[in-house]
Amino acid sequence: MLRIFMTGATGHVGRAVAEALRDAGHSLTALVRTPQGANEITALGGTPILGTLGDPGTFAATAAGHDALIHTAFEYDASGAESRSTDQIATRALLDVASRSSTVAQVIYTSSAYLLGDLGEAPVDEDIDMAMTSAAGGWRLDLEKEVLARSAGAGFSGAVVRPGLVYGGRGGTMPQWFGDAGRDRLVQYYGAGTNRWTLIYRRDLAALYWRLAESGMGGTFHGVDGTPMPVRAVAEAASRAAGWEGRTRSIPFEELPIAEREHARRALGRDVAVTSSRTSTLGWKPTYPSFQEGAAQAYREWSEA
């Protein structure tokens, strides 16, 4: 049994990770911001501690008594962007804890496959030459490097997970597709839909974290299903799963309000084709090897939530 400390354990991805670790028989302690979050962790069978990512004094001492530290939390600033300073503070605090602790053997940092930018025609795996990408990740990619560099020869392993677009449950992109567009019984997507998305089913991603924690390995791992798909094909699969016979509608980016247009292009308009050559070494493979197979489950979870 591993003793695992987590951030973000009540989030869309983090909760699935926490459940997977619990089901595998591991002990969980989770940082939460609110009493409601504490109740959620208690209901999962874990131990909550109240605190914030930006104040390591609220969690560092507790984290030091664990075998693995898993950072899945994201916080956002007033503009809706991910908070750079908060993530830097929390990640560096966890690395400091691991450096000083006699028990911490692994730190797992959550990044994103989408930070690699537009990648060209051929799919890329973890061995990608970062100099060849149009990397847009900036500070988060810098934190990836810091996790890997500080763990080298330091007595603990540093691992980076880069998830694709996560589907399943009520979080992510699919609820908007199934909910907002459902009134017209079709799925709407932005742009021509020829750019590719790289996806992963939520519980498949959670199983990857569980396998990675049990392995104790370091390095970079792409949390993806391995089958990048054109956005139009993803939308059609979602439409069929919802019983809408594959009906879709393309919305030109130019029709979006100016304030939303550039963000939508960055978030949804990139051509991101990512695979993995390393996750199989963990004994992991996705239940759904593409969204074609996972779409029905995505709709079922959305409709039952």
- Span 112-124, average pLDDT: 85
Please provide the average confidence, as pLDDT, over all residues in the chain.
Answer: 92
Residue-wise pLDDT tens digits, 270-291? 899 999 999 999 999 999 999 9
Residue-wise pLDDT tens digits, 227-256? 999 999 999 999 999 999 999 999 998 888
Contacts of 166 (CB under 8 A, 6+ apart): 12, 13, 172, 199, 200, 201, 202, 205
- In this prediction, residue 176 carries a pLDDT of 76
Residue with tokens 């996750």: 279
- In this prediction, residue 269 carries a pLDDT of 86
Residue-wise pLDDT tens digits, 54-84? 999 999 999 999 999 999 998 766 555 668 8
Nearest Cα to 12, choosing from 176, 160, 166? 166
- In this prediction, residue 181 carries a pLDDT of 60
For residues 176 and 91, the model is more confident at 91
Q: Which CATH superfamily is domain 3-167+200-225+274-286 in?
A: NAD(P)-binding Rossmann-like Domain (3.40.50.720)
Rounded percentage of the chain residues whose pLDDT exceeds 70: 94
Q: Is residue 233 a contact partner of residue 290, using CB atoms and an 8 Å limit?
A: no
- In this prediction, residue 45 carries a pLDDT of 97
pTM: 0.94
Phi, psi of 78 (to 5 degrees): -65, -25
Domain ranges of the chain: 3-167+200-225+274-286
- In this prediction, residue 260 carries a pLDDT of 80
